[in-house]
């Protein structure tokens, strides 16, 4: 008999949990959601996207993330259709700031990026460390877990999703649009919708390649 972590040693007492983890219904469903989630670029995400009730479920998932110090050191911002053109303008400003010679075509692409995907969220980390000693990397891990919860829940609800980052996240025009405080850092956009055209799954690392044993 094996466990997810390797072979049992001779003499080990078998425990009830030593069935393969996907032997239970919940385990099988979790394994299938984990396997099904894959990054889909926002430009390939079309309607339908999550409605307000589904979005609430995604946020319910987010708030179950591990959170050292119980700070909720992050939040998400929904960018509704009515605000997409403002985001596009901020992307154009960000591009012009780093490349004043950008062409009209490049500026148009920058603006168009804001229109992609039926549901677009910005993930924001609260990175101040002065108040309670929980360092930035732990806050970022909490946000990463919250993001993964959102992605997996979107998959479970039948949607596809993708992440997008980039230099515009730190641009003054983008920070100002989202009203970010000095201690707040925009980490990435989360796009959610329905995949317009399926792509082949990526090869994932072998599970054994990411586990080392102390002393071995
Ligand atoms: C914080 C973060 C930012 C990301 N930003 C981008 C991005 O700007 N563009 C992109 O194509 N993918 C982005 N990704 C998605 C990764 O490219 C993707 O997760 C990776 O290719 C693995 O594919 P998978 O998610 O389908 O397993 C980002 C992922 C993370 C965690």
Is residue 84 included in any domain, yes or no? yes
In this prediction the pTM is 0.91
DSSP three-state, residue 11 = coil
Looking at residue 100, its pLDDT comes to 98
Centre of ligand 1 from the C-alpha of residue 23, in Å: 30
- 3-state helix/strand/coil string of 177-204: HCCCCCCEEEEEEEEEEEECCCCCCCCC
Atom of ligand 1 nearest to the CA of 187: 1
pLDDT reported for residue 129: 67
Does the residue 73 lie in any domain? Answer: yes
Ligand 1 touching residue 166 (CB < 6 A): yes
Predicted pLDDT of residue 4:
37
In a domain, 11, yes or no: no
Minimal-distance CA residue to ligand 1 atom 20: 39
* 39 CA from centroid of ligand 1 (Å): 6
Does ligand 1 lie within 6 Å of residue 135's CB atom? Answer: no
Ligand 1 in reach of 39 Cβ (< 6 A): yes
- Domain membership of residue 20 (yes or no) is no
Closest residue by CA, ligand 1 atom 6: 164
Report helix, strand or coil for 202: coil
- For residue 131, what pLDDT is reported? 66
φ, ψ dihedrals at 4, nearest 5°: -60, -20
Distance 209 CA to ligand 1 centre (A): 20
User: What residues make up the domain containing 181?
Assistant: 40-196
> Within a domain: residue 63?
yes
Coil/strand/helix, residue 8 = coil
Q: Splitting the chain (216 residues) into consecutive groups of 10 residues, what average pLDDT does each group show?
A: 41 58 87 96 98 98 97 98 98 98 98 98 90 90 98 98 97 98 97 94 94 95
Q: Return the residue whose CA atom lies nearest to atom 18 of ligand 1.
A: 39
Cβ 40 under 6 angstroms from ligand 1: no
Find the CATH number of the domain harbouring 118: 3.40.109.10
Asked if the structure places residue 15 within a domain, the reply is no
Residue 8 lies in a domain: no
Cα of 174 from ligand 1 centre, angstroms: 20
| Domain count along the chain | 1
Q: Which distant-in-sequence residues (6+ apart) come within 8 Å of 116 by Cβ?
A: 42, 43, 45, 191
Flag whether 65 is in a domain. yes
Quick one: pLDDT at residue 2?
Answer: 34
């Amino acid at each position: 008999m094996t466990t997810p972590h390797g072979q049992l040693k001779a003499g080990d007492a078998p425990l009830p949990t030593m069935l393969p983890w996907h032997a239970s219904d919940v385990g099988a469903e979790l394994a299938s959601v984990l396997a099904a989630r894959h990054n889909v670029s926002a430009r390939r995400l079309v309607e339908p996207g999550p409605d307000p009730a589904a979005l609430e479920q995604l946020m319910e998932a987010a708030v179950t993330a591990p959170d050292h110090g119980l700070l909720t050191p992050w939040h998400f911002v929904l960018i509704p259709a009515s605000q997409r053109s403002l985001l596009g303008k901020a992307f154009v400003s960000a591009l012009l700031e780093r490349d004043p010679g950008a062409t009209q075509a490049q500026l148009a692409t920058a603006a168009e990026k804001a229109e992609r995907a039926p549901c677009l969220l910005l993930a924001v980390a609260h990175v101040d460390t002065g108040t309670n000693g929980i360092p930035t990397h732990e806050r970022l891990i909490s946000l990463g877990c919250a993001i993964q919860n959102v992605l997996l829940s979107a998959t479970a609800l039948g949607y596809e999703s993708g992440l997008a980052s980039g230099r515009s996240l730190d641009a003054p025009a983008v920070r100002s649009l989202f009203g970010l405080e000095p201690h707040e850092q925009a980490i990435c956009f989360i796009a959610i919708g329905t995949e317009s055209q399926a792509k082949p799954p990526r090869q994932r690392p072998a599970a054994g390649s990411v586990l080392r044993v102390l002393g071995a």
